[in-house]
Amino acid sequence: MISVVILGAGNVATHLFKAFNKAENISVIQWFNRHLDPIIQYNKTVDVTDDLNTLKDADIYIIAVSDDAVGKLSEQLPFENRLVVHTSGSVNVYDLDKKHKRGVLYPLQTFSKTTEMDFAYVPICIETLDKKSYPILKKLAVSIGSPTKRVNSDQRSVLHLAAVFVNNFTNQLYRIGHEITESEGAEFDLLKPLILETAKKIQDLSPYMAQTGPAKRNDKKTINRHLKLLTNEHHKETYKLLTKSIQITHGRKKL
């Protein structure tokens, strides 16, 4: 049985708590958050606390708080030489206080509290500073059904950067599409099969091969018609920037 203490009560912490609770060989023995409100509802299943001085002995302490708070919280932990990991894509493993055995358990997925998550679709990137800590983190990830990969802090930052493009930026483009359809009385729902197909297609084709549309074809008249239709200056700038990016990639324009 692997004993775990979770620190933080946001999107990631909540999904990890639920997944660990379902796993047979993991026991979440305590859940800490600086405010009790988000975790008090779980107090029948787990010991909840907002006091770091009451933390119990555990095999692994998982810090799943905002990136900027990870280092400080690891300093505040009132013990040393125990395995402490964070879940961030961009925080260096060395940002954890050196009094601990240090590691990272980065779930490469997008988590929101309100959406269900199947950890079979959550690759977990693992890093440890000592060899002995690696197997227990791997066992933890495998126990919730996740594929695992050993990834160092430099590789993780690159993955996180790429994730911002493929997830956050793509989602912002959905948002712009939503604003455009809403303001013109068209149905955003009609675009949903296209959104799914775009993501499905790159499972088999490279993103380069999968590209279509006016920018790739260099259909200048269509591009100008779109620019005329756009009334929002931010949307216009985004359209121009991405059109240029596609044209450069596909040899329609030089850098």
Ligand X SMILES: NC(=O)c1ccc[n+]([C@@H]2O[C@H](COP(=O)([O-])OP(=O)(O)OC[C@H]3O[C@@H](n4cnc5c(N)ncnc54)[C@H](OP(=O)(O)O)[C@@H]3O)[C@@H](O)[C@H]2O)c1
**Closest alpha carbon to 35 in 14, 9, 65, 4:** 9
Q: Which is nearer to ligand X, 8 or 103 (CB)?
A: 8
Per CB under 6 A, 69 contacts ligand X? yes
* Minimum distance of ligand X from residue 103's CB (angstroms): 14
Question: Can residue 8 be called a binding residue for ligand X (CB under 6 A)?
Answer: yes
Residue type at 210 in one-letter notation? A
CB 235, min distance to ligand X, A: 26
- Residue span 74-113 as binding mask against ligand X, x where in contact by CB under 6 A, dash where not: -------------xxx-----------------x--xx--
Nearer to ligand X, 65 or 223 (CB): 65
Alpha carbon separation from 177 to 174, 191, 194, 229 (Å, rounded):
5, 9, 12, 13
| By the rule CB under 6 A, 53 interacts with ligand X | no
Is 210 near ligand X (CB under 6 A)? no
Residue whose C-beta lies closest to ligand X: 10
Q: Name which of residues 17 to 36 contact ligand X (CB under 6 A).
A: 33-35
9 binds ligand X (CB under 6 A): yes
Could you give the CA distance from residue 55 to residue 49 in angstroms, rounded to a whole number? 8
Contact 103, 153 (CB under 8 A): no
Q: How far is CA 240 from CA 176, 211, 218, 252, in A?
A: 14, 17, 13, 14
Q: Which of 14/128 has CB closer to ligand X?
A: 14
CB of 79 to ligand X, least distance (A): 17
Under the criterion CB under 6 A, does residue 12 sit at the interface with ligand X? yes
Query: CA quadruple 120, 124, 167, 171: dihedral positive or negative?
Result: positive
Radius of gyration over alpha carbons of the chain, in Å? 22
* β-sheet bridge partners, residue 102: 84
CB hemisphere CA count around 55 (13 angstroms): 27
Cα torsion 44, 49, 53, 58: sign: positive
Q: Would you count residue 152 as binding ligand X (CB under 6 A)? A: no
Choices 10-18, 95-103, 180-188, 219-227 (CB under 6 A): range interacting with ligand X = 10-18
What residues line the site for ligand X (CB under 6 A)?
Answer: 8-13, 33-35, 38, 64-67, 69, 73, 87-89, 107, 110-111
